[in-house]
Structure 1
Amino acid sequence: MQRRRKIRREISRRALLRAAAVSPAAALFRGVSAKPTDIRIEEVSHSYEEYLYRTPYKFGGRAVDRVTLLNVHCAVRTRGGRVAKGFGSMPLGNVWSFPSKVMSYDATLGAMRTLAGRISKITSEYKETAHPVEINHALEPAYLKEAETVSAELKLTSPIPKLCTLVTASPFDAAIHDAFGKALDRNCYDTYGPDCMAGDLSRYLGPDFRGEYLQQYVKTQPAPRTPLFHSVGAGDPITEEDIQRRINDGLPETLPEWIQYNGLVRIKIKLNGEDLAGDLERVTKIDRVTEETQKKR
């Protein structure tokens, strides 16, 4: 059992690289039986939404005052001919998925938007019929290859990182899963067992996972309640003395005000990450202020 746990923690990077090196279509369908629940991508489209933050949000040493959402719509068809539509959305977090001290915010965001267009085309042109997990497994190498192409075409100072590529691709994957669940009239998280998937996890993670399926590691139904965390950015005012000029828009501006306003009991802290002493002092202050405020509720 101890050896098994160790193997799980070290999930064979070599096995993953081997899987990525194999031709996607060949790796996906070799010796695999078709499932009646399998789907085929019929249509893919994407769009963007732009939002300005109420105040700049700082983490990892960078402050941002806006966000771009990548929204994806898709349509899929089952082997039985049923058509369903799905939706996926993801913030294009270029600040954390494509950090750069030499390229501007607009440059890295522009690279992600260009890559999104290419991923949309690649996904829409994929016409094999399979489970969403298998479809994404087959498409990921093409996404990563296209990121290299975009990096070269745009003459980027640094190539698009793998993490950034996966972030950009994630709403496409989410939309396909959403459509899959709707096509089957099931929660998509309830479709990761042998009744819907043609192969077990050993196909992706190595022989140690033979006979196991993703359904063993995810909840098949949503929890009735989900904890809400209040995120304190690295530049957010903690107390009144931290405010240089009040916004005065009727919403809270300090941490005690937010705690009283929303009844907060869970705090998520963002740090700069480049000043250990400063980060430690800030965490200590947030803890002290939170404890003092909670006692007054």
Structure 2
Amino acid sequence: MTNDAPRLIVEAIELYEQPVRLRLPFRFGVVTLTECPQAFARVRVARTDGRTAWGAAAELMAPKWFDKNLDLSNEDNFRQLRTVLRMARAAYLSDATPATAFDHFARHHDAHEAASAARGFNPLLANYGPALIDRAVLDALCRLDGVSFYAAMQANLAGISDVQREFSGLDIPAFLQGLKPVETIEARHTIGLLDAITAADLQQRVGDGLPETLEEVIAAYNHRWFKLKVSGKQNADIERLGTIASVLDRLDHPYFVSLDGNEQYESAEALAELVAAIQATPQLARLWSSVAFIEQPITRRHALEVDLRGTDLGKPVIIDESDGVLDAFVEARARGYAGVSSKTCKGIYRSLLNAMRCSVWNREQDGTHYFMSGEDLTTQAGLAVQQDLALVNLLGITHVERNGHHYVNGMAAQSEAEQNAFLEAHPDLYERSHGAVRLAIHAGRIHCASLASPGYASGAEPDFAAMRALGEGAGA
């Protein structure tokens, strides 16, 4: 495949972090999160004509998601993530040969995974490092050419090709040219396992004026899409789903739901028992009819060994945590899974690859069986949420899980100058309320036309001078 995309030299990579404190505790899987660092990558690239530009990316360093080993503390998880970032920085700086943005990813991918595995890091964890650096490289490329992320992808300025073997057999230019981002996307609200459903569930209010219960969230944002986390404890899940349904069923418009299994099941049969219990509960009839898909119910250790095709679950099932290597979705498809999540923390090229696979497989079957979902890892206001929104929007995903804006008080921890810069650059995406700039959600939708500005979805830059170097003073 000929590749006329611009060649770049990666000249410098700076890594930073910033503490994030949650306004509400968020429980997902085996962890309850109250605070967590956010990592930032800042990369300078040079074109072969000597022109240079900086690009940046950000992602929360969420514990107990990339590696759910209960013997590791949250601090251990943070150290793992810092390590793979440093490993990726060393790799990308080790070769000064000019290459396309995609070729920088491809030339290091296999070796970085192998080096990470030698340290005991799984592929999901390993790819966190390159995922940030690849986005920062793309941001710099877009700024050098004065184009938006959308335009750069449609024209394949990144140079995506079959130089990485998993991308072979796909009509990459035709797929990219056919992508048509829109100006709004539905926000799918997460209902965590600790989240209050009604005021009666609150033991103590935060009292910051922002929504604290599901009822208040609906009143404030008028969502139509929701993500419900289940614990794997059937009786408790049925009771909690019943409480949630009693609120959602009051809506006078259709609502839609995804069920997140959080790897809480060991087998398809165990999941089928939950499904049967839901179907046997009359008060859950509307909720079950509103379920669009079930997300990663089976623990990643066994998920791709379990064949779902012999179990009637009534809804399509997707992988999320099991999407560790580039071919994971291919293996999952052979086991009866219908979809896979898109998350910027797993890598933008992985999302594009899986979207291309869905397109090819659906065309082969003359249908729409295979799909991608947009999921959140508590992406924060600023670069992280903007780049993730732009990616799922580019891929034509019409709704995306958003939870960072609910569990964190917007950009309150940033300076007024930084908050104002992001609000001015993206007045459709953000609003100022309750003393801070925050994501704006109205009628359940996020307006994101301003993400089409030059660069990777950001017309403003974080205040890097206010951050600490990655791991500095953090026991890393």
TM-score band by shorter chain is 0.7 to 0.9
The superposition leaves residues 167-190 of structure 1 with CA deviations (integer Å, 9 ceiling, x where unpaired) of 233111110111111112222343
Task: Tell me the equivalent position of 1:290.
Answer: 248
The superposition leaves residues 79-114 of structure 1 with CA deviations (integer Å, 9 ceiling, x where unpaired) of 222212111111112321111111111112112112
Are residues 245 and 196 of structure 1, via their aligned partners in 2, closer, same or farther at CA, if it must alter by over 3 Å? closer
Pick from 173, 178, 185: which aligns with 2:146? 185
Map 1:71-220 onto structure 2 (within 5 A). 71-149=40-118, 151=119, 159-192=120-153, 196=157, 200-201=161-162, 203-205=164-166, 207-209=168-170, 212-213=171-172, 216=175
Task: Tell me the equivalent position of 2:8.
Answer: 39
Are residues 144 and 54 of structure 1, via their aligned partners in 2, closer, same or farther at CA, if it must alter by over 3 Å? same
Tell me the distance in 1 between the aligned counterparts of 2:197 and 2:111.
Answer: 45
Q: Which of structure 1's runs of 4+ aligned residues deviate more than 3 A?
A: 32-36, 188-203, 217-222
Q: How many residues align?
A: 254
Higher helix proportion: 1
Tell me the distance in 1 between the aligned counterparts of 2:204 and 2:177.
Answer: 46
Task: Tell me the equivalent position of 1:271.
Answer: 230
Task: Tell me the equivalent position of 1:67.
Answer: 36
Tell me the distance in 1 between the aligned counterparts of 2:4 and 2:224.
Answer: 46
- Consecutive unaligned residues of structure 2, counting only runs of 5 or more, are 254-442, 444-476
- TM-fit CA distance, 1:67: 2.2
1:231 equivalent to 2:218? Answer no
RMSD, aligned α-carbons: 2.7
Tell me the distance in 2 between the aligned counterparts of 1:218 and 1:102.
Answer: 47
- Consecutive unaligned residues of structure 1, counting only runs of 5 or more, are 1-31, 152-158
Are residues 168 and 92 of structure 1, via their aligned partners in 2, closer, same or farther at CA, if it must alter by over 3 Å? farther
Percent identity among equivalent residues?
19
- TM-fit CA distance, 1:44: 0.8
Are residues 275 and 214 of structure 1, via their aligned partners in 2, closer, same or farther at CA, if it must alter by over 3 Å? farther
Give the TM-score taking structure 1 as reference length: 0.75
Are residues 207 and 219 of structure 1, via their aligned partners in 2, closer, same or farther at CA, if it must alter by over 3 Å? closer
SS of the residue aligned with 1:106?
A: helix
Are residues 215 and 167 of structure 1, via their aligned partners in 2, closer, same or farther at CA, if it must alter by over 3 Å? farther
SS of the residue aligned with 1:145?
A: helix
Of 166-175 and 183-192, more deviation after overlay is shown by 183-192
Are residues 282 and 195 of structure 1, via their aligned partners in 2, closer, same or farther at CA, if it must alter by over 3 Å? closer
Tell me the distance in 2 between the aligned counterparts of 1:189 and 1:136.
Answer: 19
SS of the residue aligned with 1:85?
A: strand
Q: Which has the larger radius of gyration?
A: 1
SS of the residue aligned with 2:121?
A: coil
Of 188-197 and 137-146, more deviation after overlay is shown by 188-197
SS of the residue aligned with 2:102?
A: helix
1:252 equivalent to 2:211? Answer yes
SS of the residue aligned with 2:23?
A: strand
8 Å CA contact 2:156–2:176 kept in 1: the answer is: no
SS of the residue aligned with 2:12?
A: strand
Tell me the distance in 2 between the aligned counterparts of 1:268 and 1:34.
Answer: 41
Task: Tell me the equivalent position of 1:17.
Answer: none
